[in-house]
Structure 1
Amino acid sequence: MFLKIASVGKAYGTPEGALVRALDDVTIDVKSNEFLTLLGPSGCGKTTLLKCLAGFEDMDGGDIILEGKSLRSVPAHRRPLNTVFQNYALFPHMTIAQNIGYGLDVAGVKKPERDRRVGEALEMVGLAGFGARRPTQLSGGQQQRVALARSLILKPRILLLDEPLSALDRKMRESMQIELKNLQHTVGITFIFVTHDQEEALVMSDRIAVFDHGKLQQIGNSTEIYDTPANEFVANFVGTSNLFAGKVIERNGRLVTVETANGRRLVAASDRFAIGDSVKLVLRPEHLHIAGSDEAASDHAILGTIADTVFVGSVIRVHVDVGFGRMAILHHQYDRTGLGATLRPGTPVKIVYSPEAAHLIPAGGA
């Protein structure tokens, strides 16, 4: 295994005398040359884990093992890892070339070699010819590339990135997501990336590790995290979900019938769970659609009334009152014509879905 995060724990004392577990027995096997994203809300432990990896925080328990060697007693400046911070931390009085070459100067690299490697780094991040400029003469996206080049020029085994795109506007952030992913493939080293942005994680990552309250909730690729969330937290945090709680009352091959407390019966395809199990059925908004008048009835249809619609560009987000105090959200593709023009509050509708699109999770969470 390239990098093993083994049962890492970290707790902080509060002014009131309580103990908060920022990391609770976290274990992750990180692959060589992969793009791993640590995803979760503020205070979930993802940045604390990054600091433990970098050597900026001591662990209360566990170990970090790189290619068979423990890093626990290795100081931060001796670890073969570099960090790109959220604010880039560029030196305003230095040129771009001086900023990028700073680490080489500290390491005593001679000027001809230093200049060659700085030139290569500038080329790598698309900033050839910018070496004489100052950080204030660059855009936010360009400054972010300088911070990347400064970290990559030292050829770390692992690059740690602490929400480096958060200060950029939406279009620049989307552009940099693709650039950063392509750069990771080019340099061929492991990236461990921290973000609270679900879309960012889904777009960029080979795998995503989802955290909440210091615990690792689920790890997998983007499709696994989105399509088969391990528990209710992941289902709600990564994307939008409609959840229906109930008990399994029937199984017919892979088709499982779930009856909710108010008597509604829903069907899902699943190889898990037995009759009598308490579950929650997860349906993503894009997996639901409003049946047309000529569409055949279905055992897994949900009757309701449109409560509200929200236009968000490519889709209309439809809020449907399905009774018993429940609201379901579905996405209707906006095309200027057809059904979209008839989506008015108060309109009775029938929502249908494929059982293959439904996903079951334990009612208790993980």
Structure 2
Amino acid sequence: MVVSADSPQTRLATRLSFLVAGFGIACWAPLVPFAKDRIVVEDGVLGLLLLCLGVGSVIAMIATGALAARYGSKPVILVGGFGLALILPTLAVVNTVPSLGLALVAFGAALGSIDVAMNIHAVEVERAASQPLMSGFHGLFSVGGFLGSSLMTFLLSVGLPPFDATLLCALPMLAAMGLAWPRLLAVVKTEEGPMFAVPHGIVLLLASLAAILFLVEGAILDWGALLIRTENLTPPAQAGIGYMLFSIAMTTGRLLGDKVVARIGDGTTLLGGSLIAISGFALLLLSPFGVAALFGFVMIGLGASNLVPVLFRGAGTQKTMPVGLAVAAITTMGYAGILVGPAGVGFVAHIVGLKTAFWVLAGLVGVVALCAHRATSANGTAYD
């Protein structure tokens, strides 16, 4: 099958790639308690093991940009997507610390590879379409995360052994990648460049803003429930509702985001979305009413939903670096934000309190608002 960049087939393949990436990583989360019991380790050792996933992802992200630039994103997407499906069952059976660590490094490498390559592919598909598509692609990652965690949790809750559950979860991933395979672009044209380059110029700005936004998202995931409990916004058993509202709002915002960007442009999206998110933080932290405060999570999710897609679009239109290396830089620094963010919030919270730490998060989003014009002007993004 010969496909062009501007065709429904390539858009379907891109959406399936994002769906599989979100689905795969979400399948791992419900397996963590089972892995801990199987290898019998303390929380400190488990934390180091979980770091292996991040290490594998970052290493693969750095390498993938150059590989995709030279050989196209299709083979990297296929290796990453099929790799996620095939490695997932091993995470349910390995029973020693070294074997689980190696499996997590491999799983993280597969995730990092597909993450960078599918964004490079998305940049090319969107550019050929001459219309915003990036938010919708990223929305499918969120949908995949919801489906993966839901399916795995359901299978485990009905008593299925973890290995059997992972096999059943791997099947739709394999099917989706098989469907995407002939529909992916054979070659994504990118600029020639070195195997590695330190981000600079507009790419450094885009990557830094991505790190901030991923940091904020990771902090809300890890600390949102504790903030709700500390401020007595809900009964303790319902403290997870904040991240649930945030996730629903972000997914909805991304699925609708392409129409928004087409109407108001990238610059206004980046500035307006940042201001909405900041308003959400203010509502969450200042409102004396629990329901109103919880609506702050909705505003943060809606405001932040289309900010990262705008940054990835900028990586595809800038002229400072090869596209593959630029996308890899944004993905890698964003992932670093997720890894570092929760620990940073904990450090700040220890010194000045959790509520103040969340005000710091709002301030960081303010940096995104201040840089919105620079990030989307000149060689920034296309839709203004």
Instruction: Specify the TM-score bucket, using the shorter chain as the normaliser.
Output: under 0.3
Higher relative contact order (CA 8 A, sep 6+): 2
Higher Cα radius of gyration? 1
TM-score norm. by structure 1 comes to 0.24
Tell me which protein shows more helix as a share of its residues: 2
TM-score normalised by the chain length of structure 2 = 0.24
